[in-house]
Amino acid sequence: MSRSGSWHRLGLAELHRRGTELELMHRAMGFATLSLVTLAPLLILVAAADPLGHGGFALWLVDGMALTGRSADALAHVFGPTRAVISTTSALSVALLALFGMSFASSVQNGYERIWKTAAAPWHRIWRHALWLIMLMGYLYAQVQTRNVLEGPPRILLSVGVGVLFFWWGPHFLLNHQVPWRYLLPGALATMAGLVGLRGFSYLVFTPLLVTNAISYGPVGTVLVVESWLVGVGFVVYGGALVGRLVCEWLGHLDEPPDETAPEPTDRGQGPSAMRS
């Protein structure tokens, strides 16, 4: 493919076509729904048991959405943890959280598989979903805790650096090492750039909207704003990985993806056929 042809395929029209094939918005909405029923209870539970402080999901949302003042108070009122969470959590609740957590990790893995055209992981590697979810919880918890240690440019650099490492490691791990590290770095960088942009958008749009909805609709309005923001996060996570693949194609590391109408290869144990060694 010529360089001019590469630029043409890496244009907005090509990105839109790939996003449509991936059902990007549909996946982002699924990401938001599973995040709300999985990450919110898990982080609230962790925060309730944390002897260092009580922020959890609420504090992570406040930080991620760049909320301040009344908007932060409205969100903390809905998602803030209490000590009663520990005593009222049953074994059935923990089992349901684990089930939703595995579904969430599996959904993210499936999105990466569609983007990179890799073979589906066998069912007995579900342990990867559990480990990825634990690492995600650790990443979010660490992001919250740095508020008490660093501020300003040092914290921004640390948060961005750790985020790039997580979104670089995550696809490589969930895809069972089928995609080389060097191919995944552009996607990790694009994902973090998108999350930084989403944070700025949240500060301008969601901060006043959260206060208005909290006054007009109560807790339901707050949850709707949070769900909308999580849709944006899912869009960035999958969209960043998709941009990373397109960058690899432009650099000549990957061939164009195979025709979706062509028969699939029978050997599902191999990595993506489009990747060059």
What is the model's pLDDT at position 142? Answer: 79
What is the model's pLDDT at position 152? Answer: 74
* pLDDT mean across residues, the chain: 79
What is the model's pLDDT at position 90? Answer: 62
What is the model's pLDDT at position 262? Answer: 42
Please give the sequence-ordered ranges of beta strands (E in DSSP) within 149-210, or none if there are none.
none
What is the model's pLDDT at position 267? Answer: 45
- Start-to-end CA distance of the chain, whole Å, equals 18
pLDDT band at 240 (very low <50, low <70, confident <90, very high): very high
Q: What is the pTM of this model?
A: 0.81
pLDDT band at 84 (very low <50, low <70, confident <90, very high): low
Q: What is the pLDDT of residues 24-52, one digit of tens each?
A: 999 999 999 988 888 777 777 766 666 55
Q: How far apart are CA 142 and CA 138, in angstroms?
A: 6
* 26 or 73: which leads in pLDDT: 26
Q: Which range (2-16, 19-33, 116-130, 184-198) has the least confidence?
A: 2-16
Q: Which range (15-24, 103-112, 147-156, 199-208) has the least confidence?
A: 147-156
Take residue 252 and report the two structure tokens written for it: 């000549």
**Residue pair 188/164 in contact by the 8 Å Cβ criterion:** yes
What is the model's pLDDT at position 258? Answer: 47
pLDDT band at 80 (very low <50, low <70, confident <90, very high): low
**Residue pair 119/178 in contact by the 8 Å Cβ criterion:** yes
**Residue pair 81/47 in contact by the 8 Å Cβ criterion:** yes
What is the model's pLDDT at position 47? Answer: 65
Q: How far apart are CA 35 and CA 46, in angstroms?
A: 15
CA angle 200, 105, 265 (to 5 degrees): 115
Q: How far apart are CA 264 and CA 109, in angstroms?
A: 19
Q: What is the mean pLDDT of residues 214-228?
A: 85
- Specify the amino acid at residue 210: L
